[in-house]
Structure 1
Amino acid sequence: MAADIAEQPDVFARLLEGPPAAAIAEVAAEIAARRPRNVLFVGRGTSDHAALYGAYLAEIRLGLPVASASPSAITLYGARPDFSDALVVGVSQSGGSPDLSGVLSAARETGALTLAVTNNPESPLAQAAELSVDVSAGHERAVAATKTYTAELLALLLLVEGIRAGDGRLPEAERAALAALPGLAAAALADRTAEELAQRYRFAPHMVTTGRGYAYPTAREAALKLMETSYVPTLAFSGADLLHGPLAMTDTDVPVLAVVGDGPGGQSMREVIARLKERKADVLTVGPQGDLGVPAVDERYSPLLDILPLQKLALALALARGENPDAPRGLKKVTSTL
């Protein structure tokens, strides 16, 4: 897991240059030309969190209605919704789960433009889709996904911005800003604060993660990483949902990891942080001014950096608790569901 985490700056650089970037631009141009009227994402686990990030991008940057598919409706109940004029995007590191391939196959049969975003371009998911994007993360050693997650995020960012441009070609200012990401990721990973904080949560019986807007997928992914590597029950809430009831369970014994960026999502978290402090909750903030600091970037880019110290925290916490983060109990790299 440590090796996978450390490779993320190189993965970013690889996606931003040469054949991978050109391939994503070509797919983006094709989607733009087809002019979908809505977008449907489907994914599981970590990839579902990447898909949630893609949903925020598509709604905010493309102005398209976005929804999340319910695979069981198609694979278990045999439903065949009318997907005409929709872009249906399957996101999966392995591309091997039959339910995701089933959704894309059904969507393609009923009129959708289908796209697979995966780390395995030869996978069943990629074969089921009309279009495919290879996130080019390389082999991931650990069961817990790290570099494939951020590669999916970056691929979706490039894809959405390419669609927005119309021809897949990003504006010069956008390309320049993205070119800084590998160096910023390396700087975030060089900070050892996450390792130092692991002892603080070694005996935590449960935790909460929270964020709003682009930060919400980060909160959900951080919760999953903590659960699958350290076995700490962790609940993830949007900042707004946290105030609608779950806030009542927070107190000094419930550590809260709050992702707080510089954009509108981060600004809206100020009330959440204030309310948590009223509850005397143990709050750890992640962001440019946070306890776990990351470089300040455009809010769209923040999820690619905010998750890095949280991955390191999950790794360090697992080790502090005497667990093996590379081989979580009961889990394997490829999970197949119907």
Structure 2
Amino acid sequence: MTDHQPGGHMAAEIAQQPKIFADLVARRDQIAAVADVIRERKPRFVLFGARGSSDHAALYAKYLTEVLLELPAGLVSPSTTTLYGAQPDLRDVLLVSVSQSGGSPDLLEVTQSARERGALTVAVTNTASSPLNAAAELSVDIGAGVEQAVAATKTYSATLLALYLLVDAIRGGDGRAAAPLGDLAQSTLDGSVDAVSEAVQRYRFVDRVLTTGRGYSLPTALESALKLAETSYLAARAYSGADLLHGPVAAVDGETAVLAVTSKGRGGDALHDVLDVVHGRGADVVAVGSAASAVSAALRIPVPETPEEVAPILEILPVQRLAHGLALARGGDPDNPRGLKKVTQTR
């Protein structure tokens, strides 16, 4: 039995993502079959339930639902069910429960309760045999394989892709925007090596990081802050670019590291003025995304251009590498962050 190499699991799982994306796209018909049932039921409102990284994936799906399906969507507060016993009428509502493990007690209770109250329930998980899958009427298997590192990488990005394929199929799409993502993911990982290495050196001794994005990229900013906090123990905080100028920018100065997620499209366009202000206050800005070259930044990490609605599936990849590299550079093991477990039991 060999000794564990710090970060070995996380590095391997980051590298697996191009194949996972290609395999998931190849299974699109299975997801489309779930979408057919949803479309026949004609939901008038969509709720998403999730925790942790899955909550960021759910926020991405909320954007997809509101923009591509033009349906109102919201994020569930599980405690309204688990702690307060609320029993809202959920007829004509679609509840999508997003959980990598499918083992969180609060999401299980929310799903069971919602189904009893008339909701069409769908579980999106990486564990086909999970209690959550059994509780939901329909299920989508993201098929990322066992994830050994505590910090979610491949399960997060595969969840994004599964949710995109589901929403796209509900609107009658053919998944064409997702078709090249396997190859583009490999290009992203290969093409960002040098810039990520430079970012590791820039951020190695930083204690405070602010992440920001707009639109579809906001979930990436949130996930980026979580990854940096849980692997490198940085004080990382995420803000929408729109909210950043409403007060938090006052705390930005030359000692602030800012990771900005910006891809070509309306969200990236909306971030330009924000980054001009942040950069002007002396912050060290690292821009990640297909629009990184067009914004004020000290360092840019490139990502291939895609339709804006699938950009988050690629944007997060170099940030995962950054979190991995920073953790090692700061003497940690990103496979085993202190105080964390793979499945968190909450109610």
The interval holding the TM-score normalised by the smaller chain is over 0.9
User: Using the alignment, how far apart are the partners of 2:93 and 2:170 within structure 1?
Assistant: 14
Aligned to 1:228: 230
| Count of matched residue pairs | 329
- 1:129 paired to 2:136: yes
TM-score of the pair, normalised by structure 2: 0.93
Equivalent residue of 1:95, what SS?
Answer: coil
> How far apart, in 2, do the equivalents of 1:264 and 1:292 lie?
19
Which of 312, 315, 325 aligns to 1:316? It is: 325
Deviation at 1:178, TM superposition (A): 2.1
CA distance, structure 1, for counterparts of residue 340 and residue 291 of structure 2: 35
* 1:99 has 2:101 as partner: no
Secondary structure, aligned partner of 1:300: helix
Structure 2 counterpart of 1:143: 150
Structure 1 pair 289–268 and aligned structure 2 pair: CA distance change class (3 A) = closer
Shift of the alpha carbon at 1:180?
1.2
Corresponding residue number in structure 2 for 1:178: 178
| Aligned equivalent of 1:219, options 221, 246, 250 | 221
**Counterpart secondary structure, 2:166:** helix
2:260 is the alignment partner of 1:273 = no
Matched letter for residue 257 of structure 2: P
* Cα RMSD (Å): 0.9
Corresponding residue number in structure 2 for 1:14: 23
Paired amino acid for 1:179: A
Other-structure match for 2:3: none
Which residue is equivalent to 2:209?
207
Matched, 1:158 2:165: yes
**Equivalent residue number for residue 296 of structure 1:** 305
Partner residue in 2 for 1:37: 44
Q: Structure 1 regions of 5+ residues with no counterpart?
A: none
Q: CA deviation at 1:136?
A: 0.4
1:195 Cα shift?
2.3
Tell me if structure 1 keeps the 8 A contact 2:268–2:291.
no
Percent identity reads: 57
Give distance in 2, aligned partners of 1:317 and 1:39.
38
What SS does structure 2 have at the residue aligned with 1:179?
coil
Q: Which runs of 5+ in 2 are unaligned?
A: 1-9, 293-299
Q: Comparing 68-77 with 211-220, which one deviates more in the overlay? A: 68-77
Matched letter for residue 188 of structure 2? A
Q: Tell me, what secondary structure is at the counterpart of 2:222?
A: helix
Change (3 A) 1:202 1:162: same
User: Which residue of structure 2 aligns with residue 331 of structure 1?
Assistant: 340
Where 2:13 maps in the other structure, the secondary structure is helix
Once the two structures are superposed, residues 85-135 of structure 1 have per-residue CA deviations (whole angstroms, 9 ceiling, x without a partner) of: 100010000010000011111110001000100000111111111110000
State how far apart, in whole Å, the 2-side matches of 1:88 and 1:330 are: 31
For residue 123 of structure 2, what is the aligned residue in structure 1?
A: 116
Amino acid at match of 1:127: A
Post-superposition Cα deviations, 1:290-334, rounded to whole Å, max 9, x if no partner, equal 201000110011001110000000000000000000000011111
Counterpart of 2:61 (choices 35, 49, 54) is 54
**1:54 is aligned with what amino acid?**
A
Cα deviation digits, residues 224-269 of structure 1 (max 9, x gap): 0000000001000000011111010011111000011110000000
* CA distance in structure 2 between the partners assigned to 1:300 and 1:113 by the alignment: 25
Partner of 1:252: 254
User: 1:85: which partner in 2?
Assistant: 92
Deviation for aligned residue 1:289 = 3.9
Where do 4+ consecutive residues of structure 1 move more than 4 Å?
none
Deviation by residue 1:155-188 (Cα, 9 ceiling, x = unmatched) = 00000010001xxxx33xx42x422111110011
Which letter does structure 2 place at the counterpart of 1:209? T
Q: Give the whole-Å Cα distance in 1 for the aligned partners of 2:161 and 2:76.
A: 22
CA distance in 1, matches of 2:30, 2:323: 33
Query: For 2:12, what is the secondary structure of its paired residue?
Result: helix
- The CA distance in 1 between the partners of 2:302 and 2:39, in whole Å, is 37
Q: Per the alignment, in what secondary structure is the counterpart of residue 46 of structure 2?
A: strand
Shift of 1:288: 1.7
TM-score (normalizing by structure 1) = 0.96
Q: Distance in 1 between matches of 2:320 and 2:99?
A: 19
Letter aligned with residue 314 of structure 1: A
Q: For the residues of structure 2 that align with 1:25 and 1:133, how far apart are their CA atoms?
A: 10
